[in-house]
Homo-oligomer: A and B are copies of this chain.
């Protein structure tokens, strides 16, 4: 049985990059047959970029443009070109806080995945853990899904669940959900790496 080459990952994030670290750790531990080829943020001072540089990964800060919730088409086209130039196999949104539009979607058809901190289709959008708590949910979790033009609306690949416990605050619930994100996302990437993508 010949091993396939490692899956080349492009990771996009706007924050502290804990899911990026989980993926990087899984690769370092040889639990995931992939390589992080490029880490991109829409925020030049996002911790994910400094963390990525500290681990020796190539990074790129995308110009943020005029909007906060999306990139203008020409900027997103630049972002897609960076990923294409790096020959990325799979694009991972790991806390990337903008809606993805046609330039990126068309460049990587069914090759962009996102992790979202709720059991979609429940609670799309921001602070999903706080939404779940406010709604009185008794279970929550996280979802890895394909990205399409609908916010948190693409086909679901996998989900992991956690209980919502008495006395939970948004922070305690968020922490419990993130512990699940950090094994589920590398596992799903491993599924792509093994060529089992649907």
* Set B163, B179, B190: member contacting A183, Cβ < 8 A: B190
Tell me how far the C-beta of A162 lies from the nearest C-beta in chain B, rounded to whole angstroms: 6
CB contacts (< 8 Å) of A161 on chain B: these are: 155-158
For residue A194, CB closer than 8 A to chain B, the reply is yes
Q: Interface residues of A: mostly helix, strand, loop or mixed? A: mixed
In the complex, the answer to whether B156 meets A157 with C-beta atoms within 8 Å is no
Chain A interfacial residues counted at CB < 8 A = 24
A143 to chain B, nearest CB (A): 10
Which B residue sits closest to A144, measured CB to CB? Answer: B160
Residues of B within 8 A of A155 (CB): 161, 163
A 66-105 contacts with B by CB, 8 A:
none
Q: What is the bound-complex CA distance between A68 and B170, given in angstroms?
A: 47
Contact assessment for A160 and B160 in the assembled complex, using a CB-CB cutoff below 8 Å: no
A198 CA to B162 CA, complexed, in Å: 7
Chain B proximity mask over A158-182: 1 for CB below 8 Å, otherwise 0: 1111110000000000001001100
* Complex Cα gap A158–B184 (Å): 9
Interface residue ranges, A against B (CB under 8 Å):
30-32, 139, 155-163, 176, 179-180, 183-184, 187, 190-191, 194, 196, 198
Q: Give the 7 A-B residue pairs with the shortest CB-CB distance, closest first.
A: A187-B187, A158-B160, A31-B31, A183-B191, A159-B159, A156-B161, A179-B196
